[in-house]
Structure 1
């Protein structure tokens, strides 16, 4: 598992730490998931377009305010800044503070906006059936788990018919108990990652039990290679401890009985989970341990990620070719084929699935590392559009004229005191035919400001993306630390800059 919330075989983090589960027989090798930071690639979701708000009462004074910038405008004079769109890319220089046009000879002083406040906490992610909150972290069982539980019950039940033929139909109840107990041990594996993350003050979004095992979605990267190593190692360590406990329990019961068979199966399953996750390639726990070692030696986390990811890809090829050869040659033991109940096609299919998951997880690890490397390039100050403040009753055509003269590409609706109340949505502006604009007030195209739609101009990188994710919207009001209006940030501009940053070579 990896400590960055990324799904992975065996034990993943998002830094998903994911404990991969063995297959549906007396557990075959666990499998891995792809890495996804909380960990999936950071993305700024956007709300569907909302219906226009009702007009507000007419304000009594104009709201022109702010500084006059000597920077070249974003649009040429005479053009419509909202129909001729030039996306921000995150590489330019930060635009000047808003460039409104005042109606007098001297623009009045800028009115502070009640801004800079952090958005309310994002809704808690869901991932299936909520089972509890150990250590305050929600644990979900994904719908896919029930499919796997049924598969394990059916396959393991068939094996019990050979080992304990006298059980009859009861063998399927025993097999179901085994499936639940095995996933309980996977949960313990994930809780080990979670407790370690909380100990290092790394937030854990959730734990999810799913088709390929478990995922601990840890929302931040470890700050040191030592912590990275510990965070990755504790999962396999707990699986080994559980295997030892089940072994001692097996010694204490009569062999050839239901308890003896169950304890033996759980011991073998946890040994497989531990061994598989210790393989030194991303996205497995062993890959994160290798990453930590290379990071420690080179002092560069990116170097560790690259090394562990390529080892992970080599491991995927090895699994694809080697697993079918091992099972069919009997190198895993004379009973390997009998216990697993696999034929050649099944062996190849299992190997292909495992290899694809490992290969994909390794690639995702590289992409996530590149993302973190380029995230600081996303700065609210650089991506912000200049904005013109207008009163709510201002006709759209007049508001656009002012924006064009100011070289601005956004409109902020303010009250009589100059306080921002709403943002005029770009999509709504484009949807109004030009001949209708003199009769449409900007208030009818605006979206009311909430606390989460006010962001600081100093935000950058992951903090900026987290803030936007917490309150999905199409536009945000950007304010200085003093509370003064800086401009408007478009979610579309952030997405374009994000994609461009991801496309750059590391």
Structure 2
């Protein structure tokens, strides 16, 4: 049960996107709820694993035990839905737009669109989920003790109480991607002023939790010589794998966010000049070379309305003979940019990343305030700035003449 920031989505049709990942269950308080196909795996596992246990503990149930186990899976689903709704409705108080709630193999998660967070608000939204489960557990306990329930209703109510209690306790453990990780994140964030440092600390907290779970439920039973509970070990390994991947993803995302200030279109772009689509290869060859590299700038072609439309290919230019350069149009040795693939040179940070994520292609023209082409930004340069890895120059430079 986690909350996910999905800033910068590409604006796909939510209904089509929902059908791809699961079964749309409708909307609650205006929030789309999707049942992922993977949920049926955990439902089947619940029936197979707990059906025989119930049958053994309550012989009179017979085959009905498996239907009770399926009802248990449905109660878990409801508990997770309430947990995620608590996240989403609390977030609404702070005007965080919720994109959707997804119920899946691992429980569920709530996805948010762009919002402005703070340590305090982050904690409140995160803790709302476990708090809802504790409330459900309390309500179930009151019903169980005050209603004198017996038979299948009593069994299901007892399971409901313990399931919500365990969900609530598990989710307040201090590590991402669990809700309790937001406590660690917010504490470090408040102390250091850096959300990224808080996320990294909470991610490591999640990894430590995984190590503790594996040590307690897998390693210690094996070392003690006890007969291991195969089902419990399998659940521990699966849950541990999910938590480790989530913690690792949180750490990597935090490190990427910390490098966002380095992503600026003007600073990352290589020098480029703009030429009209009617220009010839000779005009490219006549461009003054860079004195340090001996190569000319990248060349971007623009339409009559001034919008960048294509990039001249250095390799194709090199195949044009000197005698044909003046009569060969640059449109013959260029490739098209994606629609709208140009950005202001002052664009930077998350705003720039969000915009580029919506564009096709790997290259983008950079323009100044007058709309004049000043550079060519390559996706590899952006990724290099985000990851801190040198992506290689990947530049198309032009020699003067053959």
- TM-score band w.r.t. shorter chain: 0.7 to 0.9
Summarize the Cα distance change of 1:221–1:372 in structure 2 as closer, same or farther, 3 Å threshold: farther
Q: In proportion to residue count, which structure has more helix?
A: 2
Hey, what does 1:387 align to over in structure 2?
272
Is 1:401 aligned with 2:285?
yes
Query: Against the structure 1 CA distance between its residues 250 and 472, is the aligned structure 2 distance closer, same or farther, given a 3 Å change threshold?
Result: farther
For the residues of structure 1 that align with 2:312 and 2:97, how far apart are their CA atoms? 34
Q: How far off is 1:229 after superposition?
A: 1.3
Q: Deviations over 1:138-174 (max 9, x none)?
A: 3322221111111112223223323443444343333
What's the offset of the Cα at 1:378?
0.3
State the 1:377 CA deviation: 0.6
The answer as to whether partners of 1:208 and 1:216 remain within 8 angstroms in 2 is: yes
> Is the 1:383–1:489 contact (alpha carbons within 8 Å) kept by the matching residues of 2?
yes
Structure 1 residue 420: Cα displacement: 2.2
Q: What is the Cα-based RMSD across aligned positions, in Å?
A: 3.4
> In the alignment, which residue of structure 2 is the partner of 1:71?
none
Deviations 1:87-134 (A, max 9, x none): xxxxxxxxxxxxxxxxxxxxxxxxxxxxxxxx9845555533332233
Counterpart of 1:363 in structure 2 is 248
In structure 2, stretches of 5+ residues that fail to align are 291-295, 392-402
Which residue of the partner structure matches residue 233 of structure 2? Answer: 348
Q: Are the counterparts in 1 of residues 337 and 364 from structure 2 also a CA contact under 8 Å?
A: no
Q: Secondary structure at the match of 1:133?
A: strand
The correspondence of residues 36-55 of structure 1 with structure 2, limited to 5 A, is: 38=6
Is the contact between residue 457 and residue 478 of structure 1 (CA under 8 Å) also seen in structure 2? Answer: yes
Counterpart of 1:128 in structure 2 is 22
Could you tell me how far 1:181 is from its partner in structure 2?
2.6
Given that 1:478 and 1:488 are in contact with CA atoms closer than 8 Å, whether structure 2 keeps it comes out as yes
Alpha-carbon deviation of 1:501? 6.4
Number of equivalenced pairs: 376
Establish whether residue 173 from structure 1 lines up as the match of residue 60 from structure 2: no
Name 1:205's counterpart in structure 2.
99
What is the aligned partner in structure 1 of residue 395 from structure 2? none
Report if the CA contact (8 A) 1:164-1:256 is conserved: no
Equivalent positions of 1:270-419 (< 5 A) are 270-324=164-218, 343-395=228-280, 397-398=281-282, 400-402=284-286, 405=289, 407-415=296-304, 419=306
Structure 2 equivalent of residue 96 of structure 1 = none
Structure 1 position 474 matched with structure 2 position 359: no
Secondary structure in structure 1 of the residue aligned to 2:270: coil
Give distance in 1, aligned partners of 2:221 and 2:277. Answer: 73
In 2: Cα distance, 1:285 partner to 1:410 partner: 50
**Cα deviation, residue 450, structure 1:** 3.3
Q: Deviations over 1:304-323 (max 9, x none)?
A: 33433333332222111112
TM-score between both structures, scaled by the size of structure 2: 0.80
Larger strand percent? 2
TM-score by length of 1: 0.65
Structure 1 runs not aligned, ≥5 long? 1-10, 16-37, 43-118, 330-336
Contact 2:256 2:387 in 1 (8 A): no
SS in 2 for 1:138: strand
1:81-92 equivalence runs, <5 A:
none
Check whether the contact 2:259–2:385 (CA below 8 A) recurs between aligned residues. Answer: no
